[in-house]
């Protein structure tokens, strides 16, 4: 869920079955970092995850949390999965999964404003940090510029 949505660990752990909108294909996140109450955002979910969530939701009473783990337990489990996958460093964490989602969404061509909305950022400047990609990711963007038909008639 963290890798597919970019939500905070505490937001995932607070999820209940009624926050999954199977018809719309989204999860409605109650933003926990905002000072105002009842700030929600809808984040799309891929069909395989929706299918898994439908099974999990079917086992829960409406209003009951989807996962009963504590934050520290979930952190430990995520680290175990990351270790098993050979991933280490700061990206091997819930926050790393959030950052990975943001970079992946931007690489997929999702507009900055939409990524900002999904992440729950109040300022687009916060989301713009993810445009500072380097290495292979940056090279991919550069290659896409030259593939564009819009530059064919440009002066050289």
43 and 1 in contact (C-beta within 8 Å)? no
Instruction: Enumerate domains of the chain plus CATH numbers.
Output: 2-148 (1.10.443.10)
Tokens representing residue 82 in the block: 């990351």
pTM over 0.75: yes
Average of pLDDT values for 45-53?
93
- Within 10 A of 133 (CB to CB), how many other CB atoms are there? 15
With bands split at pLDDT 50, 70 and 90, how would you rate the model's confidence at 80? Answer: very high
What distance in Å separates the CA atoms of residue 76 and residue 80, rounded to the nearest whole number?
A: 6
Q: Give the 3-state DSSP-derived string for 81-109, with helices as H, strands as E and coil as C.
A: HHHHCCCCCCCCCHHHHHHHHHHHHHHCC
pLDDT over 70 percentage in the chain? 81
How do the residues of the chain divide into helix, strand and coil, expressed in percent and rounded to 5? 55, 10, 40
């Amino acid at each position: 869920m963290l890798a597919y949505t970019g939500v905070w660990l505490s937001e995932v752990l607070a999820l209940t079955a009624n926050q999954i909108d199977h018809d719309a294909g989204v999860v409605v996140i109650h933003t926990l970092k905002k000072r105002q109450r009842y700030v929600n955002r809808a984040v799309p979910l891929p069909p395989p995850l929706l299918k898994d969530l439908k099974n999990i939701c079917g086992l829960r009473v409406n209003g009951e949390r989807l996962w009963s783990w504590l934050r520290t337990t979930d952190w430990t489990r995520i680290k175990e999965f990351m270790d098993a996958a050979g991933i280490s460093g700061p990206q091997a964490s819930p926050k790393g999964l959030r950052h990975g989602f943001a970079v992946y969404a931007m690489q997929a061509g999702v507009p900055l404003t939409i990524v900002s909305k999904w992440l729950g950022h109040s300022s687009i400047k916060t989301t713009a940090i993810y445009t500072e990609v380097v290495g292979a990711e940056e090279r991919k963007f550069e290659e896409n510029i030259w593939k564009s038909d819009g530059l064919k008639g440009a002066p050289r």
